[in-house]
């Protein structure tokens, strides 16, 4: 996982900024408040360096889909908890807790998990938003923060059931993280999410065919080393996704292009993900063990 504290935080800031760049798509106007001026500036430099002006729209679309799908799954009443792995400076759990736990006799447990330095800084910045009366102190108090290095936990093979003892029917959100975990860690992570009688997982990934499908993606992968603190470590094949699908009673595998097109139409906006060479070919997997 990550080591350099300052760089790690700037990476989380960039994503927080992009999440709120298109709020009609993401449903998130809060995450940008956790990004500093320096973090936002680095995000803009990224867009220019990699000739990728659609990165903010991609992150907003991904965030909006994660919010929409998570809300849909948790609203069934089948799941007792929602665990965001590698949450960074995303305010997703706050938005969900504020909406779903209002007047709820059996409130859902919400957990944000990330590296210790990210969680420490996250809590500090969230506290500032409370003081500024931008968010509710009560809602924040209902969200648990867990410090964990996922790669290290994988190596020691600690069970998620031991880490999240109160979570019996969890939904796991893995947003913007899979790419930067080793393949062995990703396989272990998926095993952990399916060890429950009833669980669900939502994660985004880069298909191994992405480099050949998108010039933008191909150029970025070649040049990304040194700019981002994380190294790209894993891609997914169609065969691997198909194998994973068999572990769930209900599974979806969606292309970011189709999600963006549908969202744009709903918002009476013009779809931007048309030419595959102008955006990263992200896909999102949704699995439910009903």
CA pair distance 262, 267, nearest whole angstrom? 9
Residue 141 class from Cβ within 10 Å (0-12 exposed, 13-18 middle, 19+ buried)? Answer: exposed
Q: How confident is the model at residue 227 (pLDDT cuts 50, 70, 90)?
A: low
Residue 258: what pLDDT?
98
List for the chain the helix, strand, coil content (%; round to 5). Answer: 50, 15, 35
Residue 225: predicted pLDDT: 66
The pTM is what?
A: 0.94
**Whole-number pLDDT of residue 50:** 84
Q: Which of 6-10, 37-41, 232-236, 278-282 is predicted with the least confidence, judged by mean pLDDT?
A: 6-10
Alpha-helix residue ranges (DSSP H) falling in the chain: 5-19, 23-26, 37-49, 55-74, 92-100, 116-131, 137-141, 150-156, 160-163, 183-193, 210-213, 215-223, 238-245, 256-266
CA distances (Å), 202 to each of 36, 92, 235, 287, 290, in order? Answer: 28, 13, 16, 7, 14
How far is residue 254's CA from residue 286's CA, in Å, rounded to a whole number? 8
- Domain containing residue 258: CATH number: 3.40.50.150
Phi, psi values for residue 73, rounded to 5°? -70, -45
Q: What is the pLDDT of residues 98-125, one digit of tens each?
A: 999 998 889 999 999 999 999 999 999 9
Question: What are the tokens at 133?
Answer: 């009366």
| Full domain range(s) for residue 214 | 5-288
Would the pLDDT of 8 be above 80?
Answer: no
Do residues 181 and 242 make contact, with C-beta atoms less than 8 angstroms apart? no
CA angle 109, 29, 74 (to 5 degrees): 30
* Count: domains in the chain: 1
Q: Mean pLDDT for the chain?
A: 93
Distance (Å, whole) CA 193 – CA 125: 30
């Amino acid at each position: 996982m990550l080591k350099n504290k300052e760089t790690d935080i700037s990476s989380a800031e960039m994503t927080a900024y992009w999440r709120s760049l298109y709020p009609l798509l993401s449903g998130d106007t809060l995450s940008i408040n956790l990004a500093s001026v320096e973090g936002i500036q680095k995000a803009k430099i990224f867009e220019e360096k990699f000739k990728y002006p659609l990165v903010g729209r991609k992150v907003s679309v991904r965030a909006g889909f994660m919010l929409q799908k998570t809300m849909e799954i948790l609203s069934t009443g089948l799941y007792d908890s929602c665990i965001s792995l590698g949450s960074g400076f995303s305010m997703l759990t706050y938005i969900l807790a504020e909406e779903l736990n209002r007047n709820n006799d059996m409130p859902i447990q919400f957990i944000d998990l990330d590296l210790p330095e990210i969680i420490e800084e996250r809590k500090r910045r969230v506290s500032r938003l409370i003081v500024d009366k931008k968010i509710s102190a009560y809602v924040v108090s209902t969200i648990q923060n867990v410090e964990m290095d996922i790669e290290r936990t994988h190596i020691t093979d600690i069970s998620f059931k031991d880490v999240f003892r109160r979570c019996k029917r969890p939904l796991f959100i893995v947003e913007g993280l899979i790419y930067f975990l080793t393949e062995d860690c990703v396989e272990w992570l998926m095993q952990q999410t399916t060890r429950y009688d009833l669980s669900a997982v939502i994660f985004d990934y880069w298909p191994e065919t992405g480099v050949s499908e998108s010039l933008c993606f191909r150029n970025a992968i070649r040049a990304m080393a040194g700019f981002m603190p994380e190294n790209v470590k894993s891609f997914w094949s169609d065969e691997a996704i198909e194998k994973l699908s068999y572990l769930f009673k209900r599974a979806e595998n969606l292309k970011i292009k189709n999600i963006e097109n549908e969202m744009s139409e709903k918002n009476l906006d013009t779809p931007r993900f048309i030419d595959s060479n102008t955006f990263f070919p992200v896909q999102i997997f949704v699995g439910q063990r009903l």
